[in-house]
């Protein structure tokens, strides 16, 4: 029958495919599998664009160390907050160039003290943020706004300008800057003293509140989010006795060498982990497996290496791509880790205390072994948290024991600590902020999430109506502007927004509980004005709906796509073995922009 015939064709195609890949057909090497996507190109300015990447991009690993061979060059295109420098120049006609120069002059005049400070400090202060967004075309605006103060959702710069802050301290604020209970707690602790080397009573109280909110058993404190991720990896390896850590592509987990990783695709269809930043030797990332959520075989790869994997780290919401929802895979991942003695770790630097009172675990109804918290948990001070099940946190102190009986620290102990990991000032701010967070309800978070989703739609309506080549993606109160073109001048969007008093950078924006309706409307109005200014000046031409979702781009086949494509070369009969028919009938109005 038809089913048996289709199965026979698939077997025949598979046999032919094996022969093809082994060099038995069509020559010894398969052709380059990098087809052009059939998408219309977004129109960019008429003048030519010369773009050069700074020479300090992540090095490609030596082919002599590649046992699989068929290596292709690896190009670092950015990871988390890291971006290679763009030394490009040009791409505007004379009129657009004149308009941009006028804007640069106005922007520089409005923030002249910030610019002077940036210029003066460069000789003696090495500051990575000082070159963020660098490009020769707008070099005169590449400097940080220097802050003079903050309150609620507002920031003031040293020139006296006020901004509504939607960067929200890179996600560290949900209840506004300098809330009175936090300020008062820091003042009292500063007056009492901030000695180190003694036990702060606030540490125990803060840890108890965190356990109550998150449902975890125990807590340890660190200075930064990167340190808490390092502690989680060390715990996972200590408890499981295994060495490998698995992460997912485009999920950022701090600055530890072994977690600054990317995926290098090889010409033979395989891939391997490589450093994403200069200065990280290849051997430091060899024990990290980088997976892709959209790879249909990622679970197979995990199963193949289950005996070697100590922990899997997941960013529950990708801060740089919040519209990419991966939570539907969490249940399967939880079952897999439980069955294979693997620690499931949530990196909740961004999502902790933001999605819901209990963070991503509550929001997605999932329980993990360890979770790393930062930003909101410490009210903007330098403190982060590793929380987890007792068996994983016991490895730092041997586990609970009591005075006056025969108990003792029974768990195997590894080392982790630091001079400032429980700094009294940071603990004072953390404890005061946690008490404020305890007063929030699930309904408070639901209202915030619903208003953020509505705001996302309002912003996109503005962008689509104007034909601006970008769109906002969101999840919960996290929004990210994603550009759909390769025009570097679209990134001027953020400078134009700051010029209107909206503090926003080329990174996620975070809506706070303290943002007023008037402030949210100012954001929408500023986006409309910015788009109009960029388009009327000729700097970023409008695009039509036909090419709104991105221009021509080159993408690599997945392994499954390669298999189907190669089979199609064997003829129509072989290709039909992969045909599937799905019919959807919808009786509704379709939102073509969703």
Mean pLDDT by 10 residues, the chain (594 residues): 58 58 43 37 40 43 46 53 66 93 97 96 89 89 95 97 96 95 97 92 96 96 96 97 96 94 87 92 96 93 97 95 93 97 97 96 97 94 96 94 90 88 95 96 95 97 95 96 90 97 95 97 98 96 64 73 82 78 72 51
Domain ranges for the chain, please list them.
Answer: 1-33+557-594, 94-177+444-546, 217-249+292-421
Asked if the domains at 94-177+444-546 and 217-249+292-421 fall in one CATH topology, the answer is no
Cα(227)–Cα(259) distance, integer angstroms: 11
pLDDT of residue 319: 87
Q: Is the dihedral of CA 91, 92, 93, 97 positive or negative?
A: negative
Taking the C-alpha atoms of residue 74 and residue 361, their distance in angstroms, rounded to an integer, is 36
Other Cβ atoms within 10 Å of 274 Cβ, number? 20
CATH of domain 94-177+444-546: 3.90.1150.10
Please provide residue 372's backbone torsions phi and psi, each rounded to the nearest 5 degrees.
-105, 125
Exposed e or buried b per residue across 140-160, where buried means at least 16 C-beta atoms within 10 angstroms of its C-beta: ebbbbbbeeebebbbbebbbe
How far is residue 484's CA from residue 210's CA, in Å, rounded to a whole number?
40
Q: Which residues contact 545 (CB under 8 A, 6 or more apart)?
A: 464, 467, 592
Q: Which two tokens stand for residue 428?
A: 């004072």
The CATH class given to the 217-249+292-421 domain equals alpha beta
From residue 592, give the alpha-carbon distance in Å to each of 162, 471, 545. Answer: 38, 13, 10
DSSP 138: G
Tokens matching residue 101: 């120069």
So what's the pLDDT on residue 106? Answer: 97
Q: How far apart are CA 159 and CA 424, in angstroms?
A: 33
Which residue from 437, 512, 441, 438 is spatially nearest to 176, judged by alpha carbons?
A: 512
Question: What distance in Å separates the CA atoms of residue 247 and residue 301, rounded to the nearest whole number?
Answer: 12
Residue 462 near residue 497 (C-beta atoms within 8 A):
no
- Cα separation of 442 and 450, whole Å? 12
Cβ atoms of residues 445 and 360 within 8 Å: no
**Number of Cβ within a 10 Å radius of residue 580:** 4
Number of residues written out for the chain: 594
Contacts of 462 (CB under 8 A, 6+ apart): 468, 524, 527, 528, 531
pLDDT of residue 566: 81
**Of 508, 577, 497, 504, which Cα lies nearest the Cα of 534?**
497
> What is the per-residue pLDDT for 584?
76
Cα of 326 vs its chain's centroid, Å? 13
Q: Give the integer Cα–Cα distance in Å for 531 and 471.
A: 12
């Amino acid at each position: 029958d038809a089913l048996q015939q289709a199965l026979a064709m698939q077997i025949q195609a598979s046999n032919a495919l094996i022969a093809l890949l082994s060099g038995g057909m069509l020559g010894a090497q398969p052709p380059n599998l990098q087809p052009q996507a059939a998408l219309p190109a977004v129109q960019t300015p008429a003048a030519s664009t010369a773009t050069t990447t700074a020479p300090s991009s992540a090095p490609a690993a030596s082919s002599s160390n590649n046992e699989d061979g068929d290596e292709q060059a690896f190009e670092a295109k950015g990871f988390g907050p890291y971006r290679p420098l763009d030394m490009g120049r040009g791409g505007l006609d004379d009129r657009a160039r004149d308009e941009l120069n006028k804007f640069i002059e106005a922007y520089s005049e409005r923030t002249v003290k910030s610019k002077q400070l940036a210029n003066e400090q460069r000789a003696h202060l090495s500051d990575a943020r000082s070159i963020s967004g660098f490009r020769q075309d707008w070099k005169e605006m590449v400097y940080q706004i220097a802050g003079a103060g903050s309150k609620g959702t507002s920031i003031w710069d040293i020139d006296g300008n006020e901004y509504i802050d939607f960067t929200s301290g890179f996600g560290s604020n949900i209840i506004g800057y300098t809330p009175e209970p936090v300020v008062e707690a820091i003042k009292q602790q500063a007056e009492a003293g901030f000695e180190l080397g003694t036990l702060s009573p606030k540490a125990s109280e803060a840890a108890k509140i965190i356990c109550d909110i998150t449902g975890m058993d125990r807590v340890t404190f660190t200075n930064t989010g990167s340190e808490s991720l390092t502690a989680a990896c060390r715990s996972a390896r200590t408890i499981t006795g295994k060495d490998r850590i698995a992460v997912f592509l485009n999920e950022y987990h701090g600055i530890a060498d072994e977690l600054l990783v990317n995926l290098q695709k090889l010409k033979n269809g395989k891939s391997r982990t490589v450093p994403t930043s200069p200065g990280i030797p290849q051997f430091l990332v060899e024990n990290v497996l980088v997976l892709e959520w959209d790879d249909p075989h990622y679970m197979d790869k995990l199963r193949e290496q289950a005996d070697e994997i100590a922990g899997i780290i997941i960013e529950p919401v990708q801060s740089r791509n919040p519209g990419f929802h991966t939570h539907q895979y969490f249940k399967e991942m939880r079952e897999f880790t439980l069955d294979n003695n693997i620690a499931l770790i949530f990196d909740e630097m961004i999502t902790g205390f933001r999605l819901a009172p209990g963070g991503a675990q509550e929001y997605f109804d999932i329980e993990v072994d360890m979770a790393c918290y930062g930003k909101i948990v410490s009210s903007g001070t330098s403190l982060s948290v590793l929380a987890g099940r007792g068996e994983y946190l016991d490895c730092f102190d041997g586990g609970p024991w009591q005075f006056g009986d025969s108990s003792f620290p029974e768990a195997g102990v590894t080392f982790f600590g630091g001079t400032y990991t429980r700094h009294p000032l940071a603990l004072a701010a953390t404890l005061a902020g946690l008490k404020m967070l305890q007063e929030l309800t699930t309904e408070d978070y639901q209202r915030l999430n619903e208003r953020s989703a509505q705001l996302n739609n309002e912003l996109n309506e503005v962008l689509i109506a104007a034909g601006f080549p970008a769109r906002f993606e969101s999840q919960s109160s996290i929004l990210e502007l994603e550009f759909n073109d390769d025009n570097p001048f679209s990134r001027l969007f953020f400078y134009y927004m700051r010029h209107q008093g909206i503090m926003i950078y080329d990174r996620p924006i975070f809506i706070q509980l303290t943002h007023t309706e008037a402030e949210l409307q100012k954001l929408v109005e500023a986006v409309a004005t910015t788009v109009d200014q960029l388009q009327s000046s000729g700097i970023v031409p409008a695009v039509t709906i036909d090419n709104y979702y991105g221009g021509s781009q080159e993408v690599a086949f997945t392994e499954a796509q390669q298999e189907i494509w190669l089979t199609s070369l064997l003829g129509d009969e072989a290709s039909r073995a992969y045909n599937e028919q799905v019919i959807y009938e919808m009786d509704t109005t379709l939102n073509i922009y969703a």
